[in-house]
Amino acid sequence: GENVEQHPSTLSVQEGDSAVIKCTYSDSASNYFPWYKQELGKRPQLIIDIRSNVGEKKDQRIAVTLNKTAKHFSLHITETQPEDSAVYFCAASYPAAGNKLTFGGGTRVLVKP
């Protein structure tokens, strides 16, 4: 089955700096890669996703890049703000799995004012 590895497990950045989280996946058939943000005690919420037919997607301060050959994808957050502090999860899904997501272990991001 699919396996998703996520690094780093914790990330501390100064406000205004950039944050980068990296994930690798094992199943080359995977074609959908979302990123979820989970604040303490809250539900996971989708912040951005990318499908395998594109290499990069941006939404304001957030961007995701995908390298299908290397089977890895990354989340980039620019101009970080204290409200970006949360746990971020990457995930992967492949067509035969319906909308089942395999999640990475999470990255706890702390943005220091």
**Least Å distance between CB 107 and other proteins?**
10
In DSSP notation, 52-92 reads TT-SEEEETTEEEEEETTTTEEEEEE-S--GGG-EEEEEEE
Contact pattern for other proteins over residues 26 through 65, marking x by CB under 8 A: -----xx-x-x-----xxxxx--x----------------
Q: Contact between 99 and other proteins (CB under 8 A)?
A: yes
**Using CA atoms, how far apart are residues 104 and 35, in angstroms rounded to an integer?**
10
* Least Cβ distance, residue 37 to other proteins (angstroms): 11
- Which CB sits closer to other proteins, 9 or 81? 9
* 68: contact with other proteins by CB under 8 A: no
Under the binding rule (CB under 8 A), the answer on residue 95 touching other proteins is yes
Q: Which of residues 46 and 79 has its CB atom nearest to other proteins in the complex?
A: 46
Q: Which amino acid belongs to residue 77?
A: I
Q: Is 85 in the site for other proteins (CB under 8 A)?
A: no
Beta-strand pair 45-51/32-38 = antiparallel
Residue (of 67, 64, 91) closest to 77 by Cα position: 64
d(CA 104, CA 54): 21
Q: Using CB under 8 A, list all residues that contact other proteins.
A: 1, 4, 6, 31-32, 34, 36, 42-46, 49, 89, 91, 93-95, 97-106
